[in-house]
Every structure is written in structure tokens, then in C-alpha cells.
Amino acid sequence: MRPVLLWFRRNLRLSDNAALISAAESGRPVIPLYVVDEQDSGNAGRWWLHHSLASLDQDLQKLGSSLVLRSGSPRDVLSDIAEQSGAQALYYARRYEPASRHQEEEVHAALGARMHIGAFDDGLLHHPDAVKTKNGTPYRVFTPFWKSSAGRGEPQPPLPVPESIHVVDTALESSSLTRLGLLPLSPDQSRGFQDSWEPGEAGGLKRIDDLESTLGNYADHRDRPDIDGTSRLSPHLHFGEVSVRQIWQAVRQLEMPLQAETGGEALLRQLYWREFSTYLLFHFPNLPAKPLRHEFENFPWSKNESLLHAWQRGTTGYPIVDAGMRELRQTGWMHNRVRMIVASFLVKDLLIPWQTGAAWFLDNLVDADLANNSAGWQWVAGCGSDAAPFFRVFNPTLQGKKFDPDGLYVRQWVPEIGETDYPAPIVNHGSARQRALEAYQSIKGMRTSKFAP
């Protein structure tokens, strides 16, 4: 029988995977494959991807199959494998980044005339085109988007893992994970990452199971970096090792027995923020590079390599900032409240462009999602949707006292705090705040309600 191709992308799981289920239900031999391409960038993300692909291959082997690995242009690789195997169909999950959508267009142009192509939407609760204003335009503010999306009702329940899939008789050429070169981290960083994470679907499902210990206090604890009060599901969700519907269902099942309605709603709201970020990137594809608010294209940013390097190394002399940047370096992750603090410090205390910080996060976060990262940095910089006004400048010292009141988080990552070798502050916050407000005044008269296309 002619086989079908199953193109894994950001859906590296067996459960609740519509493309996998459709391929299995075709009754034909299935060729599971992953194509490493130019979007698989970022040192931390590539480390995670290596281990996630290894985990996925092991899971597929339990079904009697194995993962074919290639690198290059998906159009060229899929065309090559289709020709070699005589495949009659292709199944995949859609992605929403501009480059991903372009890839899909190329694949359809190359293969659509000679085979059936099934594209599925199970990375989000709703396709970005499904939620619009009454005028048919995309929402630009979170709250009405959230209310409109929530008004569409509960998502469908997750789909089960297929009991079996038919296996291709002849083996196809596959690169080894080692040859793909996805592990560029230093040995010390790799150990820190390994101690912090378990990439793969099994690790993601364990995190979902751990929601029982998190959900009751989630609304109160999620802003406290000194407390283990967040789900830490973001990298598993980014790589599609678990689905958003699985998390949604778990929260709904836990809310009543835990009497955690407040925590449950707070976590589901975070899922909608993720949804909104992807929605913005879909409708405003320049989101990673250009401010949504036109006037910020004229903002008088500064370029100071020594200040930037101090921020990157976690040697700014501001303990909460340094703790966050060191946590990032050692674990590939940073608490969300601290992300906002370190981002505000870079953009407003140092006046370094938000795009520079966004690029650093993309390279160093294991959950470096292009949409979430871009929307988050624009929010902090005051130039995006639902943006925090630029004149609202976080005081890093007060933020540390408020969200790390006993200094537990800071002492964990900055053990030399209070000693003579801890650096003095690289800027005076009061003076830096005044400079930031003056810079904002220079563009204030250019304010517009319009977003950049």
C-alpha cells in the first residue's frame, strides 16, 4: 500500500494529535518525520528539541514505528521523501509564524497536485481567523478578544493516542540526532538544563499531573519567584508535547475538588494570553521586528554594549535583575514576573531597544515562542497591544521587595549578594527613569491609535 507522510512540527506528542490520528485512520503505512529548518534556532530551544525528538522517537517505537529525521527546506525534504516512498497523502499541524505559513504555502504548491494534504489546527483553542470584531477586523486589545474567544464555548475534549499505526516496510534514510547538531550548550549549561527539565511528552504530562499541587494557590503565588507556584508548562506547550486542550481539561477537572476556581480561571486566562499573542503575530506579521504603535519607530534608543553585556551576564548591581538573568543562563527559563522586571530594566533604565532583549530571550529560553516573546517585549516597551504605558517604569528594588520579600529567590541565584565582589549598580534608577521619561516626551506628540501593518 502507498504510505502517508506524517510531518511533525510543533506537535511533538502522540496524544491529542489530530494529524497523527488521521494518518493512522487512513489505514495506510505511516512515515513519521521531522524536518529541522531555519526556524529551529536558539541555543536553549535546540537543546530542548534534541531531547524532545529523542523522546518522540522512543514513543513511536512503542507503536512499532520510528521517526525519520532530516534537515533543510520542508518543501524540498517532503518532496524528496514523497518521491522515494510513493506517498499518497501528507498530514501536518498548522503553525502561525510568518515563516511557517510561507513553508506551508510552498509545500502545498509543490505537493498539492499529486497528493491529498490534511492540515489541522490543534495548537490553539481557536484559529486566529475565527475570532473577529463585529466589523470583521482583528481585535487589538486583550480583554474583548478574551471575552469573544471564551464566548465560543469550551474546547473539544482531547483525543486519545491511536492504538496502533501501520509501519512502512522499507526504511528511509534518516539523519541521527547527533549529526543534526542541536546541542551547542556548554557542559555546565547542559547540566543545569538537565537538572531543571524533562523534555518530551511524558515530562509534559507529569507537569499537568502536578497542577493538582499548584492550582489551589495559583492566583496568589504565580507572581512570586521565591515560591514554586507556576505550572512550568510553557516549554512543553511551545513544542507541542502537550496540547492546550489537555491543560484546559485538567484545570476544569481539578477546579471543583480543589475549590480552586480562582486559580483555575487565572491559569486559563494565561492560556488566552498565549492565544492572543499568536493571534497578534498572525494578523500583524511584523510583530517581532516593528512596534505596533507607529510613534515608537522614532524613539531615541541608546546603544551601549557594556551596559547590554552587564544585563546579559546578570551583573547590573540590581539583585532581582541579576537573579533573573542568571536563572535564565543556568536553566533556560525565567519566572514571568521577573521577565517583566528585567525587560523593563533593559528598555527603560538602559534605553536599549526591546528587539535586542527579545533576541536574547529567543536564544536563551527553552520556551522561546516567537509570538509570546514579541508580544511580551512590546508590552513592556509600551509599543504593543495592551501595552504598559512607557512612563510606568518598574523600580527594580521595589519590585524585588514586593515579589521576593525575604530575598530567597535573589540569594538562590546571586549568592554573593551583600559581599564586596557584588557590583555596584550600573545606572542610578532615579536618573535613568527621568531620562526614559524625557525620551518618551520626544515622541509623545506622535501618538496614534493605529497599529503598524
Give the pLDDT confidence of 163-182 residue by residue, as tens digits.
889 998 878 999 999 999 99
The pLDDT tens digits of the residues spanning 400-449 come to: 999 999 999 999 999 999 899 999 999 999 999 999 999 999 997 666 55
Q: How far apart are CA 46 and CA 36, in angstroms?
A: 10
Q: State yes or no: pLDDT of 74 exceeds 70.
A: yes
Question: What's the pLDDT at 257?
Answer: 66
Q: Is the pLDDT of residue 260 over 70?
A: no
pLDDT at 188 over 90: no
- pLDDT number for residue 389: 81
Separation between Cα atoms, residue 255 and residue 265, nearest integer Å: 9
Least confident of 76-85, 162-171, 312-321, 370-379: 162-171
Does position 453 have pLDDT exceeding 70, yes or no?
A: no
Is 268 in the same domain as 319? no
Residue numbers of the domain that contains 407:
294-444
Number of independent structural domains in the chain? 3
What's the average model confidence in pLDDT over 305-334? Answer: 98
334 and 250 within one domain:
no
Domain boundary among the residues 262, 283, 304 is at: 283
What is the pLDDT at residue 444? 78
Which set of grid coordinates corresponds to residue 335?
Answer: 519566572
Note the pLDDT of residue 447.
60
Residues 321 and 427 in one domain: yes
Q: What is the CATH number of the domain that holds 94?
A: 3.40.50.620
Beta-bridged to residue 33, according to DSSP, are 7, 68
In this prediction, residue 1 has a pLDDT band, given cuts at 50, 70 and 90, of: confident
User: With 90 as the cut, is the pLDDT of residue 94 above it?
Assistant: yes
The predicted pLDDT at position 311 comes to 98
pLDDT of residue 344: 97
- Rounded to the nearest angstrom, the gap between the alpha carbon of residue 434 and the centroid of all alpha carbons in its chain is 33
Residue 312 has pLDDT above 90, yes or no: yes
Euclidean distance between CA atoms 147 and 143, whole angstroms: 6
Looking at the fold, whether 375 and 409 belong to one and the same domain comes out as: yes
Mean pLDDT of 88-96: 97
Please check the confidence at residue 450 and state whether its pLDDT lies above 70. Answer: no
Average pLDDT over residues 277-285: 97
Instruction: Let me know if residue 267 belongs to a domain.
Output: yes
What integer best gives the mean pLDDT of the chain?
94
- In angstroms, the CA 174 to CA 214 distance is 41
User: Does the pLDDT of residue 392 top 90, yes or no?
Assistant: no
* Whether residue 66 sits in one domain with residue 204: no
Q: What is the pLDDT of residue 134?
A: 93
111/143 same-domain check: no
- Cell of residue 177, nine digits: 540526532
Is a pLDDT exceeding 70 seen at residue 259?
Answer: no
Q: What is the 3-state secondary structure (H, E, C) of the chain?
A: CCCEEEEECCCCCCCCCHHHHHHHHCCCCEEEEEEECCCCCCHHHHHHHHHHHHHHHHHHHHCCCCCEEEECCHHHHHHHHHHHHCCCEEEEECCCCHHHHHHHHHHHHHHCCCCEEEEECCCCCCCCCCCCCCCCCCCCCHHHHHHHHHCCCCCCCCCCCCCCCCECCCCCCCCCHHHHCCCCCCHHHHHHHHHHCCCCHHHHHHHHHCHHHHHHHHHHHCCCCCCCCCCCCHHHHHCCCCCHHHHHHHHHHHHHHHCCHHHHHHHHHHHHHHHHHHHHHHHCCCCCCCCCEHHHHHCCCCCCHHHHHHHHHCCCCCHHHHHHHHHHHHHCCCCHHHHHHHHHHHHHHCCCCHHHHHHHHHHHCCCCCHHHHHHHHHHHHCCCCCCCCCCCCCCHHHHHHHHCCCCHHHHHHCCCCCCCCCCCCCCCHHHHHHHHHHHHHHHHCCCCCCECC
- For residue 62, what pLDDT is reported? 93
The cell numbers describing 62, all together, are: 512503542
- Residue 391: closest CA among 327, 434, 333, 450: 434
- Look up the pTM and report it: 0.95
pLDDT of residue 305: 97
Strand-pair category, 4-8 with 89-93 = parallel
Query: Does residue 170 form part of some domain?
Result: no
Q: Is the pLDDT of residue 73 over 70?
A: yes
- Check pLDDT > 90 for residue 192: yes
Mean pLDDT of 304-311: 98
What confidence tier does 232 reach under pLDDT thresholds 50, 70, 90? very high
Does 422 lie in the same domain as 372?
yes
pLDDT band of 41, cuts 50, 70, 90: very high
Domain-located, residue 68:
yes
* b/e per residue 112-149 (b: at least 16 CB within 10 A): eeebebbebebbbbeebeebeeeeeebbbebeebbebb
Q: How many CB atoms neighbour CB 276 within 10 A? A: 24
Q: What is the pLDDT of residues 127-155, one digit of tens each?
A: 999 999 999 999 999 999 999 999 999 99
272 and 245 fall within a common domain: yes
Residues 257 and 354 in one domain: no
The whole-number pLDDT of residue 397 equals 97
For residues 311-319, average pLDDT: 98
The CATH number covering residue 235 comes to 1.25.40.80
pLDDT given for residue 291 in this prediction: 96
pLDDT > 70 fraction of the chain, expressed in percent and rounded: 96
Q: What is the pLDDT of residue 451?
A: 56
Residues 320 and 398 in one domain: yes
CB 32 within 8 A of CB 67: yes
Q: Is residue 177, in this structure, part of any structural domain at all?
A: no
Judge whether 453 lies within some domain: no
